[in-house]
Amino acid sequence: MNKSALKLAIIPLLMFGFGFALVPLYDVFCDITGLNGKTGRVEASEIDADLVDRSRTIEVRFLANTNTGLPWSFEPLVKKMQVHPGQVYEAVYRVRSASDNKTMGQAVPSVSPGLAAQHFNKTECFCFTQQELEGRETRDMPIQFIVDTDISADIEQITLSYTFFSVDQG
């Protein structure tokens, strides 16, 4: 086998290896940049109300977006709040359909910085299920969340962002 054939045989193997490595590389990229920070889910019965850290506060900011193709407006009713780690809080988002027809959407959360995501847990959230709105319907959708007490002292601000995507009913 000559050198050119060997090189041509190795190229697809390298391409496969690169494609296989993209998922872990993407996870590292997200951890560094804080993009696509996945939140956790915890049952309300698991929360110990005696573990609230009242000695510190963290500012939680709320953002909302809708993806192209979903005729909804979406916004948090409160843009930010000060929270004590270990205490359960509630925030409310408002969604309005601009369509005359029934539409469905799914909210995807993201937490920034990415290192805070593992310490940001929700007990209730509209993002757990698909949302269906009638034509021109407006709805307030609450989330209940808690920031773990073992979150790094370096983290003073967390941004919770939701993006609603259209769910194809067909």
Residue 29 near residue 125, CB atoms below 8 Å: no
Of 2.60.370.10, 2.120.10.30, 2.40.180.10, 3.50.50.60, which CATH number belongs to 37-166?
A: 2.60.370.10
Instruction: Identify the DSSP state of 151.
Output: S
Give, for all 170 residues of the chain, the pLDDT tens digit: 688 888 888 888 888 877 777 777 766 666 665 555 556 556 555 666 668 999 999 999 999 999 988 999 999 999 999 999 999 999 999 999 999 999 999 999 999 888 888 899 998 999 999 999 999 999 999 999 999 999 999 999 999 999 999 997 54
Contact between residue 164 and residue 74 where contact means Cβ atoms under 8 Å apart:
yes
Q: What pLDDT is attached to residue 40?
A: 58
Tokens of residue 63, six digits: 């953002």
0.85 exceeded by pTM: no
Domain edges within the chain = 1-33, 37-166
Q: Determine the Cα–Cα distance for residues 80 and 82; give it in Å rounded to an integer.
A: 7
Return the H-helix or E-strand segment holding 103. strand 103-112
